[in-house]
Structure 1
Amino acid sequence: MDCYCCSGISFEKCCEPIIKKRASAESAEALMRSRFTAYCLGDYQYIFDTYATSQRSDLSVEALAKSAEDTRWFALKARPVSGTNNYVEFSAFYIENKKTGVLHETSQFVFENDEWRYSTGTIHSDTGMIKLGRNDACPCGSTKKYKQCCMRLIK
């Protein structure tokens, strides 16, 4: 099975070892991908654990779970910001209330206690609900039409 993060690599070789703490994320992008995958899996403890220490005081595992309870994440496009090793720009696609949306953010990561951690992010203005046509290419990168791929997730 391909990884939830749309890397084209199997889950077992991509994000699973990082989420299960058998390996550390080797880059900010790898951490971003594993956090997206954790949202797909509902692993809010992992998401909490990968926040920078300075960000955790205002968070809880329960609050993270509550904020995502009606959201189904299904596709990710992520890339490091050129010239940096601690910024990642991503577009994460989701389904909420039978509608498709995108979260477009540039995230900053810090290297803390020998591991990458999410620090903060700037949300881009094109974040929000989007219209994907049935015949548009699926944002997951499968090369299939949206109707033949992730649109089936809408229930």
Structure 2
Amino acid sequence: MSELKCPCCSGNNYENCCKPYHTKEKNAPTAEALMRSRYSAFAIPNGEYLINTTLPAKRKFHNKEDLQEWGEINQWIKLEIVSTPTPNKVEFKAFYIDEDGNQQMQQELSVFQKISDRWFYVSGEFQN
């Protein structure tokens, strides 16, 4: 049986890529690794992981149920990392099919913050 490829498009299998972050065995070592694991969490979906990797001060603007639903209603196709202009910023393109069957692409420059060896998502700015 072949192992499941990770939804983050790293080319690695899920068991050795994002799963250890999702199961809290490890913390993502870089902002890009956290970005990839968050994309995978939308694809699976895993709203709890998404809220737990959001900067605590920003959690009041999100909730686990909405993040879970956003993952469930869309079909996640591909993640493309555009650039990592600084260690705490990642620009990416997320490709998905929305609940109406339309192909979508979200391009965002995300900001992350590292606190005590853990990276957190802070905010994102849509590009284009």
- Normalised by the length of structure 2, the TM-score is 0.90
- In the TM superposition, structure 1's runs of 4+ consecutive aligned residues that sit over 4 Å from their partners are none
Show the counterpart of 1:93.
95
Structure with bigger helix share is: 2
Q: Conserved in 1, the CA contact under 8 Å of 2:55 and 2:121? A: yes
The 5 Å alignment of 1:72-91 reads 72-82=75-85, 84-91=86-93
> After alignment, is 22-31 or 50-59 more displaced?
50-59
Counterpart Cα distance in 1 of 2:67 and 2:21: 19
**How far 1:79 sits from its partner (Å)?**
4.8
Show the counterpart of 1:59.
62
Q: Tell whether 2:42 aligns with 1:26.
A: no
Query: Which residue of 117, 123, 126 maps to 1:123?
Result: 126
Counterpart Cα distance in 1 of 2:72 and 2:42: 10
Q: Tell whether 2:46 aligns with 1:43.
A: yes
**How far 1:65 sits from its partner (Å)?**
2.5
Flag the 1:10–1:103 CA change in 2: closer, same or farther, 3 A: same
Higher relative contact order (CA 8 A, sep 6+): 2
**How far 1:68 sits from its partner (Å)?**
4.1
**How far 1:70 sits from its partner (Å)?**
2.1
Query: Which residue of 114, 117, 131 maps to 2:117?
Result: 114
Flag the 1:12–1:67 CA change in 2: closer, same or farther, 3 A: closer
Q: Conserved in 1, the CA contact under 8 Å of 2:42 and 2:67? A: no
**How far 1:58 sits from its partner (Å)?**
2.1
The C-alpha deviation readout for 1:47-94, integer Å capped at 9, x for no partner, is 000000111012211122234442111210115423x10000100000
Q: What amino acid is aligned across from residue 92 of structure 1 in structure 2?
A: A
Unaligned stretches of 5+ residues in structure 1: 126-155
Show the counterpart of 1:148.
none
| Aligned-pair Cα RMSD in Å | 1.3
Q: Conserved in 1, the CA contact under 8 Å of 2:44 and 2:71? A: no
Counterpart Cα distance in 2 of 1:87 and 1:45: 23
Unaligned stretches of 5+ residues in structure 2: none
Aligned residue pairs: how many? 124
